[in-house]
Amino acid sequence: MSTPNPPVDVTDPHDTMVIAATPDADVRPAPVPSGRGLAELRAESVSCWFGERKVLDRVTLTMPAGEITALIGPSGCGKSTFLRTLNRMHEMVPTASLAGQVLLDGEDIYDTSVRITAARRDIGMVFQRPNPFPAMSIADNVLAGLKLTGRKASKDEKEEIVERSLRLGGLWNEVKDRLDAPGGGLSGGQQQRLCIARSMAIKPRVLLMDEPCSALDPTSTRVIEESMRELAQEVTIVIVTHNMQQAARVSDKTAFFLATHSTPGAIVEHGPTKDVFENPQDPRTGDYVHGRFG
């Protein structure tokens, strides 16, 4: 039941200072506190409802700049809902409501002065099922989000963005000789990496990934895991995963979510991944990460 998210959601056709596609933009020293460097994302007491039903209760979590934060927990505990609050997708559900704050480098993305399109451009998302445009070429898939910004990039700039993004997605070497071939012709794992490249092309500050490997074979999963370390040098990553080995392998921090039939989802424990896995403070965390439930 994953919702396809066309790149129109992450761009703003009326915004002109959208992408830093020129080489100059890369020359700036990073991180820049108020510029476009690595950004911290912080949720402050976020609660969520669908209609009358509360599904998340006062979630507070810092997702540090340039780190990979894993969200783990049994099905239905609110991980996807929480992820969707982080780029303002939760509010797309008609019955949905929310309390709390989401701060991107200290700035509340729900502030009335922040445009929803700007928030979604800064905070990109990759879904469980890869959703490239199947008939569109590999190169055009990468550039899709960019085009919608209305920004004119030269042919050279576009080529540079395509290569850079595909390298970040860990796909360049496999497709560099067939950039004009349709995206739909790639394997599932390659399509997912194409979606990562498409997200990265508009230089987001945060990349949200909702079980990005759960529909993929082990080899594709490994390739994506390997590229995540490099990605984290460019973008703050938040990943939902049911794969405990994956969380332990790729993440710096882990947050364990839990809901019961009578209580909404909440964070039981969070901290450095090593601590959560090897020395959990709450017995429920230990039981979950060792596969005793969920």
CB of 264 to Mg ion, least distance (A): 15
Q: Which does 93 bind (CB under 5 to 8 A by kind): Mg ion, ligand ADP, none?
A: ligand ADP
Question: Cβ closer to ligand ADP: 50 or 133?
Answer: 50
Q: Which residues bind ligand ADP (CB under 6 A)?
A: 50, 55, 73, 75-81, 93
Residues 198-231, buried b or exposed e (16+ Cβ, 10 A)?
bbbbbbbbbbbbbbbbebbeeebbebbbebbeeb
* DSSP state string for 17-53: S----SGGGGTS-S--TTTTS---EEEEEEEEEETTE
| Integer Cα distance of 196 and 165 in angstroms | 8
Least distance between ligand ADP and beta carbon 76 (Å): 4
Kindly list the strands in the beta sheet with 206-210, ordered across the sheet, starting from the edge strand earlier in the chain. 123-126, 206-210, 236-240, 68-72, 253-258, 266-272
Nearer residue to Mg ion within complex by CB, 80 or 227: 80
- Of 76 and 286, CB closest to Mg ion: 76
CA distance 55 to 48: 6
Contact partner at residue 100 from ligand ADP, Mg ion, none, CB < 5 to 8 Å by partner kind: none
Give me the phi and psi of 92, to 5 degrees please. Answer: -75, -20
| Per-position b or e across 146-177, b if 16+ CB within 10 A of its CB | bbbbebebeeebbeebbbbbbbbbbbbebbee
Q: Which does 215 bind (CB under 5 to 8 A by kind): ligand ADP, Mg ion, none?
A: none
Assess 11 for contact with Mg ion (CB under 5 A).
Answer: no
User: Smallest distance from the beta carbon of 282 to ligand ADP, in angstroms?
Assistant: 18
Nearer to ligand ADP, 136 or 244 (CB): 244
Nearest CB to ligand ADP, comparing residues 77 and 139? 77
Q: Which does 77 bind (CB under 5 to 8 A by kind): Mg ion, ligand ADP, none?
A: ligand ADP
| Residue 21 and residue 153 in contact, taking contact as beta carbons nearer than 8 Å | yes
- Nearest distance from residue 266's CB to ligand ADP, in Å? 12
* Backbone CA torsion sign across 49, 52, 53, 57: positive
Smallest separation (angstroms) from Mg ion to the CB of 240? 6
Within 66-95, which residues bind Mg ion (CB under 5 A)?
A: 80
Q: How far is the CB of 212 from Mg ion (least distance, A)?
A: 12
| Of 209, 236, 235, residue with least CA distance to 224 | 209
Nearer to Mg ion, 80 or 87 (CB): 80
Q: Could you tell me the smallest distance in angstroms from the CB atom of residue 18 to ligand ADP?
A: 30
110 binds, among Mg ion, ligand ADP, none (CB under 5 to 8 A by kind): none
Instruction: Give the footprint of Mg ion on this chain (CB under 5 A).
Output: 80
